[in-house]
Chain A
Amino acid sequence: MDAPKIKDRLIKWVEENYHIEPFKDIVIKKQVPLHEYSAWYYFGGITLFLFIIQIITGILLLFYYKPTEGAAFESVRFIMTKVEFGWLIRSVHAWSANLMIFTVFIHIFSTFFLRSYRPPRELTWITGVFLFFMTLGIGFTGYLLPWNELSFFATKVGTQIAGSVPYVGGFLRTILRGGEEVSDATLGRFFACHIIVLPLCIFAVLGLHLAFVQLQGMSEPLSVKDRQEKKSIPFFPNFLLRDILAWMLALGVLASLAVYLPAELGKKVDPFVSTPAGIKPEWYFLWMFQTLKLIPSKIFIFDGEVIGILGFGVMGFILLILPFIDIWSRKEKKNLFLTLLGIFMLIFMIFMTVWGLIDKGRQ
């Protein structure tokens, strides 16, 4: 019987001491459009939920993980075998990382197809693309930390590819590796980037991204925008409850993967052996890796790998400035060519990833 009173008193105390009225208004008055494409709105929220899980499990892993060449693998083994529920924490961390990258891909593609980046949401898109790049970065740096054979050689290959960037490649590779080879120094800087540098950057950009979403609300797709009858629901509590429902679904998937396919420990790396056959990067880099393998070593007088890397760089830049070069969406029109290009890109990425996964040849 006393509970509502305590709740009311608490709200009153917060309102009196902290001037949250403007924020409260935004949240309470915010409406979320309801239409046949509304399901895509949830992927941003799921990504955020998985990121929170990453932070929590990451902190728990930090209690035992030792980022040195001699102790990294053994400390992960200790977490997996000796620490109570250590296997669960690590498996959830590993799987939520993969699921988060997967949902980021869905979120970015759905935003693209719905043209949600069109004015006035250019900055929401740009911060989103930066978050996408940083998510890939946090995935890349985290992959090395167990210091097993697969992660070591995948990092070796990955940093080698980065070394092919014209002019700055050598410098970039040395900066990434902390020397000529993947070593203790690489592990140290990957660890620092994974737990401090990238999370701090993500927090900052994510703050902006969420602020933009809250301030500007959800974008309506072009096909829905001009309808006579429009439906919407309040953000609070309706959409938030729907979001939580989606999070529960993600949690169920995460729990299933962690129990039935726990994260593998792999084989402790021997840095002196040559790169074993079949070494591949993580699945989210596989489409680029597979594409690079298909590019001939020489295109006219140019190095094929360099052309490929430059190509990916250009694609990344185009992705970043997309709201400004898509002149049709700026005029509130949908361009079929751009949609077809997006579909082609999606099919190409899926095809190359699957091919990369089943390709057993020497990498």
Chain B
Amino acid sequence: MIKKSFLKYGLFVLGIMCFSSQAFSAEAMNSCLECHKEKFSQDDAHAKKVVLCVDCHGGNPASLDVSIAMDTSKGFLGKPARADIPKFCARCHSDADYMKRYNPNIPTDQLSKYEVSQHGKLNALGDKKSAVCTSCHNAHNILAANNPASPTYALNVPNTCARCHSDKEYMKEYGIPTNQIDDYKESVHGQALLVKGDRSSPSCKNCHGNHDAGLPRAIYVGNICSQCHALTYDLFSKSPHKSAHDRLGIPECEACHGNHKIMKPSDDMLGTGLGAVCLKCHNPSSKGFKTALAIKNSIEDFKTEIAEAKESTSKAERLGMEVSDAQFDINEANNSLTKARTYIHSFSKEEVASVVGEGKSLAQKALMLAQKAIDKFNFRKKWYSLVILLIFVFSLALYFRIKMLEKK
């Protein structure tokens, strides 16, 4: 027993000694941390992959002597000039062969994209305020984009861009608006991303790019929106609007929906009433005006039919009737309404009418089922009255029979 315990104790002490010596040697290998420890966190993407200070800044981290450790003649690079940062990072990040060892799927085109970006172009022209890698990713304590604390995490991107782009003083010399973030926050995309936390909702980078961030050419804006709204853009591309927009140089989707402040579309945007975007281009005598009116009427008629079906279904449901089939049809009709709203982008009253027609038949079916349920309830009521009458008559007869029996 004593022998066993001694062996255990000995192994434990040996383990501690090994661990301590390893810790000591690791500490000794990166002498930079003696002075610069506060700049790093455990979550740093480089530190996690054991990419140390020396790998970016050079020098001799094995020495505690500053003159040896930071000897420029021995390859110490120090802090790069701001304008040089993209190339500084690209030494590794553009080297596909090198990067493969950390992540075989990591992109290595950041520098080439940056060079064509607005930021890169201004940087090349010597603009000292233009964004470089560290502006968005930080210089140290660089966090992976899937880390919720990272400035490049999907939910944080708008605010990261806004750090410069909503700063009026900082952006003054560029002559571009600084209200994008405020507009975006109000938009349907901003609400989905920032309020509902839907990370699939687009933010600045989805339209402007990230490393190649720049102004999207308004004339091609449809290609950006179509990344998500594929059917809508397909319908638009086949419509007469496409050639008209191209010819007149009118931005595609943006002409009606705006850019940063894209609000949830409403049916008021359609037709010829107050708030209708069609009126921006079409005057009352034009064919487009008549088409807009026809499409609007078609959609409104359809909505009325769905509302009627819903009302009857609710009434039947309040009466306690089983109306799940009618409710299913109403849901399907609502899907058709959504489809019809998408088909508005064909700007063809015939195509919209075709989709509306399918939906209307569903709404009518739901209305019929609901009406049938109400009729059934009324039928039950009639029979119920008869049954109650029979029970009453039978009970009355029983009552008198009992009275007669007990009189005896």
Residues of A participating in the B interface, judged by any CB pair closer than 8 Å:
77, 80-81, 87, 233, 237-238, 241-242, 244-245, 248-249, 251-252, 255-256, 259-262, 264-265
Closest Cβ neighbor of A81 among chain B residues: B322
For A261, list chain B residues within 8 Å (CB): 320
CA distance A261 to B387 in the complex (A): 16
For B405, list chain A residues within 8 Å (CB): 237-238, 241
For A249, list chain B residues within 8 Å (CB): 395
Q: How far is the CB of A71 from chain B (nearest CB, A)?
A: 16
Closest 3 CB pairs of A and B: A259-B384, A248-B395, A262-B320
Closest Cβ neighbor of B399 among chain A residues: A245
Among the listed B320, B380, B381, B398, which residue makes an inter-chain contact with A244, where contact means beta carbons less than 8 Å apart?
B398
Among the listed A248, A252, A265, which residue makes an inter-chain contact with B398, where contact means beta carbons less than 8 Å apart?
A248
A-B contact pairs, 12 of them (CB 8 A): A77-B322, A87-B322, A238-B402, A238-B405, A241-B398, A241-B401, A245-B395, A245-B402, A248-B398, A255-B384, A255-B391, A265-B324
Q: How far is the CB of B324 from chain A (nearest CB, A)?
A: 7
CA distance A255 to B322 in the complex (A): 18
Closest Cβ neighbor of B398 among chain A residues: A245
Among the listed A238, A242, A251, A259, which residue makes an inter-chain contact with B391, where contact means beta carbons less than 8 Å apart?
A251
Q: How far is the CB of B8 from chain A (nearest CB, A)?
A: 37
Interface check B406, CB cutoff 8 A: yes
For A81, list chain B residues within 8 Å (CB): 322, 324-325
Whether the Cβ atoms of B322 and A248 lie closer than 8 Å is: no
Chain B, residues 377-395, CB within 8 Å of chain A (1/0): the string is 0001100100110011011
Interface check B235, CB cutoff 8 A: no
Closest Cβ neighbor of B321 among chain A residues: A262
Question: Given A87-B322, A249-B395, are A256 and B388 neighbors across the interface (CB < 8 Å)?
Answer: yes
CA distance A203 to B380 in the complex (A): 34
Whether the Cβ atoms of B406 and A238 lie closer than 8 Å is: yes
Q: How far is the CB of A349 from chain B (nearest CB, A)?
A: 28
For A80, list chain B residues within 8 Å (CB): 322
CA distance A255 to B394 in the complex (A): 15
Q: How far is the CB of A180 from chain B (nearest CB, A)?
A: 31
CA distance A189 to B387 in the complex (A): 37
Residues of B participating in the A interface, judged by any CB pair closer than 8 Å:
320-322, 324-325, 380-381, 384, 387-388, 391-392, 394-395, 398-399, 401-402, 405-406
Closest Cβ neighbor of B388 among chain A residues: A252
Whether the Cβ atoms of B388 and A265 lie closer than 8 Å is: no
CA distance A181 to B350 in the complex (A): 54
For A238, list chain B residues within 8 Å (CB): 402, 405-406
Q: How far is the CB of B323 from chain A (nearest CB, A)?
A: 9
Q: How far is the CB of B379 from chain A (nearest CB, A)?
A: 10
Whether the Cβ atoms of A241 and B388 lie closer than 8 Å is: no
CA distance A265 to B324 in the complex (A): 9
Q: How far is the CB of A64 from chain B (nearest CB, A)?
A: 14
Whether the Cβ atoms of A77 and B402 lie closer than 8 Å is: no
For A255, list chain B residues within 8 Å (CB): 384, 387-388, 391
For B388, list chain A residues within 8 Å (CB): 252, 255-256
For A264, list chain B residues within 8 Å (CB): 320
Q: How far is the CB of A215 from chain B (nearest CB, A)?
A: 25
CA distance A245 to B399 in the complex (A): 7
CA distance A238 to B408 in the complex (A): 11
For A248, list chain B residues within 8 Å (CB): 391, 394-395, 398
For B380, list chain A residues within 8 Å (CB): 259
Whether the Cβ atoms of B402 and A242 lie closer than 8 Å is: yes
CA distance A313 to B324 in the complex (A): 42
CA distance A265 to B391 in the complex (A): 29
Residue from the set B392, B398, B399 with the largest chain A CB neighbour count within 10 Å: B398
Closest Cβ neighbor of A34 among chain B residues: B406
For B401, list chain A residues within 8 Å (CB): 241
Q: How far is the CB of A76 from chain B (nearest CB, A)?
A: 10
CA distance A242 to B401 in the complex (A): 10
Apart from the given pairs A77-B324, A245-B402, A259-B381, 9 other A-B contacts in the complex at a CB distance below 8 Å: A80-B322, A238-B406, A245-B399, A248-B398, A252-B392, A255-B384, A256-B384, A262-B321, A265-B322
Closest Cβ neighbor of B402 among chain A residues: A241
Closest Cβ neighbor of A245 among chain B residues: B398
For B321, list chain A residues within 8 Å (CB): 262
Closest Cβ neighbor of B385 among chain A residues: A259
Whether the Cβ atoms of A233 and B391 lie closer than 8 Å is: no
CA distance A83 to B405 in the complex (A): 44
Q: How far is the CB of A292 from chain B (nearest CB, A)?
A: 32
For A87, list chain B residues within 8 Å (CB): 322
Whether the Cβ atoms of A233 and B322 lie closer than 8 Å is: no
For A260, list chain B residues within 8 Å (CB): 320
Q: How far is the CB of A30 from chain B (nearest CB, A)?
A: 15
CA distance A39 to B102 in the complex (A): 86
Closest Cβ neighbor of A265 among chain B residues: B322
For B322, list chain A residues within 8 Å (CB): 77, 80-81, 87, 262, 265
Q: How far is the CB of A232 from chain B (nearest CB, A)?
A: 11
Q: How far is the CB of B329 from chain A (nearest CB, A)?
A: 13
Closest Cβ neighbor of B377 among chain A residues: A259
CA distance A262 to B316 in the complex (A): 12
For B406, list chain A residues within 8 Å (CB): 233, 238
For A245, list chain B residues within 8 Å (CB): 395, 398-399, 402
For B320, list chain A residues within 8 Å (CB): 260-262, 264
Q: How far is the CB of B22 from chain A (nearest CB, A)?
A: 44
Q: How far is the CB of A337 from chain B (nearest CB, A)?
A: 39
For B381, list chain A residues within 8 Å (CB): 259
CA distance A261 to B317 in the complex (A): 11
For A242, list chain B residues within 8 Å (CB): 402
Residue from the set A77, A81, A249 with the largest chain B CB neighbour count within 10 Å: A81
